[in-house]
Each structure stands twice: as C-alpha cells, then as structure tokens.
Structure 1
Amino acid sequence: MRIPAPLLETYVAEIFKGAGCPDDESDRIAFYLVRANLAGHDSHGVIRVPRYLSWMEIGSVKAGVQPNVVSEGPTHAVVDGCFGFGQSIGPFCADIGIAKAEEHGLSIVAIRNSGHLGRIGDWPERAADAGIASLHFVNTSGLGLLVAPYGSPDRRFSTNPFAAGVPIPGEEPLILDFATSVVAEGKVLVAHQGGKPLPDGALISADGEFSTNPELIYGVGTAANPNDMRGGGGAIRAMGEHKGSGLAFLCEVLAGALTGSGCATPEQSNLANGMLSFYFRPDLLGSENEFAAEMERYLAFFRTARPLDGTDRVMIPGEPENRSRADRLANGIPLTDTTWESICSAGDNYGVRAPALVSEAIAS
C-alpha cells in the first residue's frame, strides 16, 4: 500500500502524543521518521515506531528531555542527550554547530548519550540549508552491537554511519549518508518484514558463512520475541572489506571514545548514539564565486559519465533521495502490510485509531 505522507505523519504524531510525549516532540519524531521514508530510507522511517515506543516504555529512551550542554566555547560544544529522543537532540545540536560556524567560520559539536538519531543525512541537510558544510561520524554503544569487522564473524561494531553535506550554488546540496556496514540494521528489519531483500553476502553466520537471512540478526520471531532482541547468532558485515571496517573503527573512536558516549559494548540493554560533527562555512576556504564556478564545471563533466546497461543515469550523492522524495510526495509512501499493521497495533495500545485509508491509500 501507499499512504499519503501528511496523513502518515499526523497519525504517527498522534501515537507518540498518546504514549506521553510532549506535543512538539511528537511532531518532530513523526516529521523525521516520515522524512526518512520520503528520502527512500525506509530503514529509518515509520517502521521504527513500535521499537521507539517499546524503548520508551522500558525507559531506554526518555520523552521530553532537555539536552545538557556539558561544555561550550566559541567554536565547540559537548552535549549530553540524557537518552532523550534523537529527533529532539539532533536538531538542537545541529543548530548549535550551524550558529557557531556562521559566526566563527567553523565549529565542532560532540553528542553523547542520545537516543536513536534517526537518518543521519537529516543533519547535513539541515546545515546545508543554512549554507554550512558539515561532516558527521556516528556510533552506537550498547544495543547497537551488530556488525562484524573484516576477517571475523563476531560483532564488534554498530552500523556506525558517516554523513556529509556541502551546499552547492544553483544546485541541490551534495548529501552523502551511509552506514559503514553492508546494510543498515533497519534494512535488515525491512527485509524481515517482507520489504526489499538484502544483497548477497550482507550478513555472516557465527560459522563464517555469508547469508541474506534476517533471522541471523533477530532470531526466530514469536509472540514472546518481537524480533527486537537481536537474538540471532550472526552479524551484519562491514562494507568494503578492510576499508569499510577501518572507517567503522574510526567512527567508534571519534563518535564513541572522544565524545564520551562510549564505544560498542556487549551485554547492554540501552541504545546510545554518539556523534562528532564538524561544521564550516565554505567561504572560509576561498571565494564563493570560484567554488560555484568549479562545481558547475565539475558537475557538467561528471554528468557526462556513460551509464552501464540497466542503469538509468549516474547520480551525484543526494540525487536518489531527491528523486524518491518527489515520487513519494506525489504518490504516497509504500509500506508493507506487516509494517502498517505493526504501527496500527502500536496506535491501538494508546487509544489512537488508525486513519481510514479507503480513499487515500493506494494498493501496491
């Protein structure tokens, strides 16, 4: 089925309000989850509603939390998210970094102990909209221990995203956002719920065999085990063999150890995101006109690259998300029946009825 984005966003916001989140935070959570779906990153979209609610119920993430600025100077800030929702901590910290970069040319912001920060590409997009370039390194301590390093079947990393954004005069901003694993954990969840299947070799069993079976991560689901306990004995593989494994390790160091959020740790029930972000004004490094002219020249050259058979066109980072956003705003957000039913069940738990979809949802 395809569900109109405004209807889905309103419904998700009402569920979080029913669960006890403040109205403004509920609206932010819904906005960023639906925004991830619009960008084509269903792994970080509304599929996460039941999981977020279960975390809130057991106290792993806390509603209505005010972030604590631990230390601050003209060009830096260290912020403790106090296990609040990442959809509140993320924009709060991004705006600190943007404001400092606007005034001083550059800034560094360290986040520790945030709830799940969602699609990390949201934060370089927010900065680029303000004319600021940025780099973001992320890790997850505790519950996020899911990824095997190169040469091992054992979990030693989280999916450790990296993201970057650069505003380009006269163009959509360049936005790069990826997990340092072959796939993000949420994409394993999407596959498990009947969505897009995993690429070959995305997972590895405890015996070292490559696989695409999501039960290697979640175990076999039952009513008592809702596939959120990471009960399988396998792992997600690091992307790019030793290169991706090295980048994942760097994310543990920068986003975990340096921020004070902590590196991946076994036998922890809480999920805490750490993020180290660098913000800077492009004009700090030279003429804005020279930068615009060089980007215009290079993009024209890049776009002459011949696509391989079966490839529509060679795209710059951020272009697939822009295409998805245009399609899904026009035609609705596709959800599997399993995902929709899990959201509706979560809503029922808080007395929030699902919207009627007879005239608004389009069967796929």
Structure 2
Amino acid sequence: MAPPSVLVDAARLGAYVAAIFRAVGCDEAEASRISTHLLGANLAGHDSHGVARVPRYVEWCEAGYVLKGQTAEVVTDGGCFALVDGKFGFGQTVAPQAVELGIARARQHGIAVVGLRNAGHIGRVGDYAETAIRANLISVHFVNVAGSVLVAPFGATDRRFSTAPFSVGVPLPGRPLVLDFATSLVAEGKVLVASNGGKPLPANALVEPDGRLSGDPHTLYGEYGAVGPRDVTKGQGAIRAFGEHKGSGLAFMCEMLAGALTGGGTSGPVTARTRIANGMLSFYISPSHFGTEAEFHATGRAYVDWVLSANPVPGETVIAPGDKEAATRADRLANGVPLQPDTWAGIIATAQRLGVAQPD
C-alpha cells in the first residue's frame, strides 16, 4: 500500500516553489509565473504537470537546457498568423507571450494562428485554453516535444512520438469547456508521479521491447532510487498511445503541426545536437467576429445541458470537459494539495540544496 499523501496548503506551496525558482536565478515575475502554473496544474488534478516537475526544471535550468528571462521573438508576422521563437526560455514565460499575441490578433482579425517553437516545457496546455476562454475566444492547441521520444506508435514497441498534448477551449457563458489530454495513454509526468509512490499506472500504459504490456515505471526509466532524478534514456520500453490507432494518428499530427510546421523539430530522430523543447501550433477564433455569437452561446449551452441529462451508468456521473478539473480545484484550494511523500521529499531536497527554507 502506498504511503499517505502529504497535504500542503496551496498558498504556502506556491510561495515555496516561487522561492526555489528565485534561488535558481529567476526574477520575481518569472518565479511567480512558474510557481502559479505548476501549482495550477496540481489544483486542476493534473499532478503530472505540477510541482513534481520542480527538481527537473531546476536541473534543466542549471544545465543550461532552459534559459531564464527570455522574451519570445516574432520571426514571421502575417497579421492574423505569426511564428514565434521561444529561444529555449522557460515555457511558463514564452508560451504565455505567444498566447497573448494570438489573443490580440484574434481580437483584431477574428481569427489567428500562432506557432511557437523552441520553448521550455510549457506545462499543462489547458491553462492556455483557459486564458483564451477568459478573452471569450475559442482555441485549439497542438503540442509536441522536439527531441523527446517516449511513445510507441500503434502496432510498434519502439519509441517514435513525444507525449504530444492536445487541447481545446470553448467559452460558453457560465459553462466553459476545456478539453486537455496527452495523446499518449498516460503523460510522462504520470509515470514520474507513479515512480515517486503516487497513483499507479494502468497495467497496459507501457510496452516492453518484446511487446509485453506493463504498468511498471521501470519500463520507461530503468533503475532509479526512491528519491532523485528519473532518466527516460535508461528504460528500454515505451509509453503507449491512447485509443490505439486513433490516439497514435493524433500524436502523428501533433508532431507534423507543432514540430515540423513551426520549424522547431519533431520528437526524433534524436541526435547529439538535439535539444528538448516544446512546439505549439494554436488557433484562436472570435465568436463575436464570426457573426454567430448569440446562436453559439444559446445552442452550445443547450447542447451541454442535453448531454449532461443523459442517463448515467450506475456508479458514474456524466460530466463535460473541464468539470473534473473545476471540482478538484475547489477541493484542493479548501483542503490542501496532496503530494506523494517521495515527490515532496524531492522538492525539499532541491530547495535545501539551493538554501531555501522549508515552510511549516
């Protein structure tokens, strides 16, 4: 049986994480952005993209893989479309800059397409869909990870894809919808959480080189200690795509759109010069410019209500995209953020090494 979670007050946890990134050299604004984004993932129940990432982010920053204080550069500007280079800055810095550009252009033109390349790990993609929703915009996001080969395509055991997230945000009055998932059966961060004593993986989440299915994080990481870094290059297996050929096909398209089209590169083949970075191709649509905003809101809300009125399977609840995250956020803000003991120990060890005092 897994040890009980450590409950940490959300505000104190956010302040602690921000202090860690200030200690590694980020300015106040950047440290706060990174902390807010990672904590936000935990609050939404996406622990794989939350504060469990802190030790890895710090390692990447110290190694020079991710750079502090970067400003994304617009390298192609066509008005309603643009290509942005993140210059390997922290994803929580350069991705919001790209999103803000897309929102501004969609407000101006009614639609915008923005490509982002060479960004540090951008974290939970649904956060950017929620940002667009607050601007009353529909958004669609295709994401890849250049240089990160973790997922086997349908029918294979070799790694070929990144976890390739996909997200859609739909603004409806009082009922926004946020669809957000990795095209892998589980995100790599969920394997990380499981390796730290967190929620176990499904027994078919991973695949061994001989084709056997596995739920053991060692399949991806090889041997590792109870506390410390995980190295995906040490494992011999791969994560599986979700939904068999359908998820595999969507992952393929994420690599094409977010990786090849943006010029940031696809997941592989990996060479000695390959640098891990996120790419994202985002579409923003303004319902008010489209000319059907009133109909969209009325029809959309009516459809959501009709879907949710479906007779549930015994023991289940019919939910819309984003409902689970909203409920988890309310609970964790009220009762604290649960962290696995090994995850918490890893964060504390990183903080102590940087001279950051642990909160009560």
Query: For the superposition of Structure 1 and Structure 2, which TM-score range results when normalised by the shorter chain?
Result: over 0.9
The answer for the alignment partner of 2:78 in structure 1 is 73
- How big is the shift at 1:23? 1.3
CA drift of 1:75 comes to: 0.5
* 1:108 Cα offset (Å): 0.5
SS in 1 for 2:345: helix
Amino acid at match of 2:189: G
Query: Aligned-pair distance for 1:248?
Result: 0.5
| Of 2, 6, 21, the match for 2:7 | 2
**Other-structure match for 1:195:** 198
Q: Of 238, 241, 254, which residue of structure 1 is paired with 2:244?
A: 241
Question: Which residue identity does 2:338 align to in structure 1?
Answer: P
- Structure 2 residue aligned with 1:310: 315
Cα deviation for residue 293 of structure 1 reads 1.6
- SS of the aligned residue for 2:233 comes to coil
| Identity in percent | 53
Q: Which runs of 5+ in 1 are unaligned?
A: 357-364
Q: How does 1:314-325 map to 2 (within 5 A)?
A: 314-325=318-329
1:354 and 2:358 aligned: yes
Match of 1:61 among 50, 58, 66: 66
User: What is the Cα deviation at residue 67 of structure 1?
Assistant: 1.3
* Partner secondary structure for residue 111 of structure 1: strand
1:140 aligns with 2:145: yes
- Provide the residue aligned with 2:177 in structure 1: 174
Displacement of 1:285 in angstroms is 3.0
1:113 aligns with 2:132: no
CA distance in 2, matches of 1:326, 1:259: 37
Q: Which amino acid aligns with 1:147?
A: V
Residue type of the alignment partner of 1:151: G
Separation in 2, partners of 1:291, 1:66: 36
Q: Return the alpha-carbon distance in structure 1 between the equivalents of residues 334 and 99 of structure 2.
A: 29
How many corresponding residue pairs?
353
1:173 CA displacement:
1.2
Q: How far 1:228 sits from its partner (Å)?
A: 2.8
Please report how far the alpha carbon of residue 307 of structure 1 lies from its aligned counterpart in structure 2 after TM superposition: 1.6
Paired residues of 1:193 and 1:338 also in contact (CA < 8 A): yes
CA distance, structure 2, for counterparts of residue 227 and residue 332 of structure 1: 26
* In structure 2, C-alpha distance between the alignment counterparts of 1:167 and 1:83, rounded to whole Å: 31
Offset, 1:224: 11
2:3 aligns to what?
A: none
How many Å separate the matches in 1 of 2:225 and 2:40?
Answer: 31
Residue number in structure 1 paired with 2:156: 152
User: Structure 1 residue 21: deviation in Å?
Assistant: 1.0
Distance 1:190 1:38 in 2: 15
The change in CA–CA distance for 1:302 and 1:224 in structure 2 (over 3 A counts) is: closer
Q: Cα deviation per residue 1:185-236 (whole Å; 9 max; x = unaligned)? A: 0001111111111112010001111110000111111499732343100000
Distance in structure 2 (CA, Å) of the matches to 1:230 and 1:188: 14
The answer as to whether partners of 1:9 and 1:34 remain within 8 angstroms in 2 is: yes
Note if contact 1:183-1:236 (Cα within 8 Å) is conserved in structure 2: yes
In 1: Cα distance, 2:104 partner to 2:185 partner: 34
Q: 2:302 aligns with which of 281, 297, 302?
A: 297
What's the CA shift for 1:345? 0.5
Deviations 1:251-297 (A, max 9, x none): 01000000000011224563210000000101333332211221232
Work out which of the residue numbers 205, 210, 214 in structure 1 matches 2:213: 210
2:189 counterpart residue number: 186
* RMSD (Å), alpha carbons: 1.4
What are structure 2's unaligned runs of at least 5 residues? 1-5
Any conservation in 1 of the 2:196–2:227 contact (CA below 8 Å)?
Answer: no
- Establish whether residue 219 from structure 1 lines up as the match of residue 222 from structure 2: yes
2:310, 2:352 → 1: CA distance?
Answer: 51
For 1:97, the equivalent position in structure 2 comes to 102
Is the contact made by 1:51 and 1:228 (CA closer than 8 Å) also made in structure 2?
no
Of residues 318, 325, 331 in structure 2, which corresponds to 1:327?
Answer: 331
Structure 2 vs 1, CA of residues 208 and 7 (structure 1 numbering), >3 Å: closer, same or farther? same
TM-score by length of 2: 0.96
CA contact (8 A) 1:140 1:273 kept: yes
- Asked if structure 1 preserves the Cα contact closer than 8 Å seen for 2:110 and 2:290, the reply is no
3-state DSSP class of the match of 1:230? helix
2:129 and 2:169 in contact (8 A); partners too: yes
Which of the numbers 24, 33, 37 marks the counterpart of 2:29? Answer: 24
**Distance in 2 separating the partners of 1:255 and 1:58:** 25
Between the aligned partners of 2:59 and 2:355, the Cα distance in structure 1 is 16
Q: Secondary structure at the match of 1:317?
A: coil
Per-residue Cα deviation, 1:116-166 (whole angstroms, up to 9, x for no partner): 010000111000001011000000111x21000000000000000000101
User: Larger deviation: 299-308 or 4-13?
Assistant: 299-308
Deviations 1:38-90 (A, max 9, x none): 00000000000000000011111011112111121211111111110000011
Q: 2:349 aligns with which of 342, 345, 351?
A: 345
